[in-house]
Structure 1
C-alpha cells in the first residue's frame, strides 16, 4: 500500500487542487444553486477518484507485493504480477533478466567443467615425470642426494593432490562413494604413507587405536582429510616432538583425535583457519602454507555430514577432532 500511495501521490494532489479550484470557481460564478449541489459535486468527484484508485490498486497488487517483499528464490520472480501495462513490462523485464542470468550460469558451469578437465589432465600429466623420477631414485638409492630428491618429490605429490581435490570439490556429489570404513585401517594407511616425513622431521607418531571403529564415509576423501591434518601437525612441529592419533567413542559418535605439540594457532586465527586462502600468522612465518588444505578438509567433512573441531594454544600445540556419527 505504501508503494501504491507513493506512486499515486502526485495524482491525488493534482485531483484535490483541481477539486478545490473548480469548487471555488463555480461557487464564484453562481454555478451551485444550493448546498445540496455542492455536496453532490463533492460526492461524485470523490467517488470517481476513489473507485479509480481502488481499481488500480487491485490490478497491480501482485506487483506491489513483490516490490515490497522480494522473493527469496529467483524463479518466484517469473510468476504473474498483474495485467496492467507497467506490471506486464516489469514481468517481461524479470523474464529477460532471468534468461540472461541462466545464460551466465551456463557459461560459468561450462568454464568450471573445462577448468576441472584441465586440472585433472594437468595433474595426471605431472604424475608421469614424477613416476620416472621415482624409478631413477630406486636405481640410485646409494647416492647421498637421493634422500633430498625423494623428500621434494613427496612435497610435489602432496601439492598435486591438494590441487586435484580442490578442483573436484565443486563437483563433490559426482565423486564420492559412501561405504563402511574401518577408521583404524584408514589411519594406519595414512601414517604408513607419511613415515618418511615423520623420520625426516624427527617426529614420533603415537597411534592409540586398540580396536576397529566402523563408520559410514568415503575412504578416498577421508584419507585426504586425515593426511592433510597430520601433514599440518608435522609441518608446524619442531624436532623430537610427537603427533598422537587416537580414536574413541563418545555418546553416538566415533572421534578421530589428532594432537600435536607444535607452535599452536593464535586466537585471532583459529576462527578463520577453514577459510579459503587464509594462511594466518603461522603461514606467514613458515612460508609454505597455501591456505587451501584446511579449507578442503572443512568442506569435505561438511559435505559428508561429519564435524571437525579445533582446539589450540600457542606454543603448546593443536588438537583436531573429526567426529563421525554412528550409523544404525
Structure 2
C-alpha cells in the first residue's frame, strides 16, 4: 500500500493542481455563483478520482506487494500478479529472466559435471604410474628409495584430496551408510598412513572399545580420519617421541571420538578460521605442504554425513579434534 501511494503521488499532485486551476477559471469567469459550482465540480471529480485509485490498486496490488518483497519475488517468480497490462508485462519479464537463469544454471551444471568426470579420470590415470613406481621401489633398498616412497605417499594423498573434492558436489550419489566398527575404521586409517607415522617417529595410541559402532560411510569416514591424522603427525615434533591418541566413548546420546596430538597447536586468532577453504594460518605457512583444504573438506563431509566435528587447540599444547555421532536405537 505504501509503495502504491508513493507511486501515485505525482498523479495526486497533478490532480490538486488541476482543481486549483479549474477553480481559478470559474472565479475569474464572473459567474454569480462560482463557489457552489466549484464545490460540486470538485466533489464529483474527487469521487471519480478516488474510485480510479481504488480500481487501480485492486488491479496492481499483487505487483506492488511483490515489489515490496523482492527476495520472495525472486524465489517465486511464477506467483500470480494480476491481469492488468503492467502486471502481465512484469510477469513476462520475470518469466524471461527465470528462463535465462535456468539455462545458465543448466550450462554451469553440465560444465561442472564434465569437470568432475575429467578430474576423476585424471586421478585414476595418475594412480597407474604411481602404482608402477611403487612396484619398482619394492626391489630397491636404499635411502633414495625411501625418500621416493615418502614423495609417492604425498602424491597419493594429494590425488585423493583432489578426487574427494571433485566428488563433494555429487555427494548424495556417492555414499552408503552402514554400521561400522569405529575401532576398525581408525586402525584402517592408521595402516594407510603407517609410513608417515614411522618416518615422523610418532606413535599411535588407540583407546577404542571393540563394541563401539557408528552409522556412517566407511570411505568418506576414512578420508576424514586420514586428513586429521596427517595433520596430527606433520605438526608434531618427531624428536620428542610424541603420540597421537585416539579415544572413543559414549556421552549421553552420542558416540564421541577424540583425536589428540602433542604438536605445535594453533593460535587463538587462527582457530576460528581453520575450517575455511585455503586457510593455512600462521603455523601452516611454516609447512609448505599445507594446502588449507584438509579441515575444510572434513567440515563439509561431516555436514553431509550428519556427524559433528569440533576443534580445540592451544599453542605448544597440541590439538584435539572431536567427532561425534548420534547413537542409533
TM over 0.5: yes
* Structure 1 SS opposite 2:323: strand
Q: Deviations over 1:18-75 (max 9, x none)?
A: 1011012112213462644332112101011111111111100000000001244745
Equivalent in the alignment of 2:282: 281
Equivalent in the alignment of 2:22: 22
Greater alpha carbon shift after TM alignment, 34-43 vs 125-134:
34-43
Aligned counterparts of 2:73 and 2:307: Cα–Cα separation in 1: 28
> Quick one: structure 1 residues 55 and 72, their matched pair in 2 at CA, closer, same or farther if it must change by over 3 Å?
closer
* Structure 2 SS opposite 1:30: coil
Equivalent in the alignment of 2:242: 241
Query: Retained in 2: the 8 A contact 1:264–1:314?
Result: yes
Aligned counterparts of 2:35 and 2:20: Cα–Cα separation in 1: 15
Equivalent in the alignment of 2:214: 215
* Structure 1 SS opposite 2:286: helix
State the shift of 1:246 in Å: 0.8
- What is the number of residues matched between the two proteins? 327
- Structure 2 runs not aligned, ≥5 long: none
TM-score of the two chains, using structure 2 as the length reference: 0.96
Aligned counterparts of 1:73 and 1:52: Cα–Cα separation in 2: 27
* Structure 2 SS opposite 1:285: coil
* Structure 2 SS opposite 1:286: coil
State the shift of 1:192 in Å: 1.6
Query: Retained in 2: the 8 A contact 1:26–1:32?
Result: no
Equivalent in the alignment of 1:95: 95
Aligned counterparts of 2:110 and 2:73: Cα–Cα separation in 1: 23
Aligned counterparts of 1:13 and 1:72: Cα–Cα separation in 2: 32
Equivalent in the alignment of 1:120: 120
Greater alpha carbon shift after TM alignment, 175-184 vs 279-288:
279-288
State the shift of 1:280 in Å: 1.3
Instruction: Say whether 1:161 aligns with 2:160.
Output: yes
Equivalent in the alignment of 1:317: 318
Q: Deviations over 1:66-101 (max 9, x none)?
A: 000124474512122122222211111111110110
Aligned counterparts of 1:32 and 1:242: Cα–Cα separation in 2: 110
Aligned counterparts of 1:323 and 1:30: Cα–Cα separation in 2: 93
Q: Deviations over 1:2-26 (max 9, x none)?
A: 2112211111111100101101211
Equivalent in the alignment of 1:258: 259
Equivalent in the alignment of 2:59: 59
Q: Deviations over 1:191-221 (max 9, x none)?
A: 1221211111011111112333111100100
Equivalent in the alignment of 1:272: 273
TM-score of the two chains, using structure 1 as the length reference: 0.97
Instruction: Say whether 1:186 aligns with 2:185.
Output: yes
Aligned counterparts of 1:274 and 1:146: Cα–Cα separation in 2: 35
Aligned counterparts of 1:202 and 1:73: Cα–Cα separation in 2: 60
Which contiguous aligned blocks of 4+ residues in structure 1 show a shift greater than 2 angstroms? Answer: 30-39, 70-75
Equivalent in the alignment of 1:144: 143
Aligned counterparts of 1:75 and 1:302: Cα–Cα separation in 2: 25
- Structure 1 runs not aligned, ≥5 long: none
Equivalent in the alignment of 1:300: 301
> Quick one: structure 1 residues 14 and 180, their matched pair in 2 at CA, closer, same or farther if it must change by over 3 Å?
same
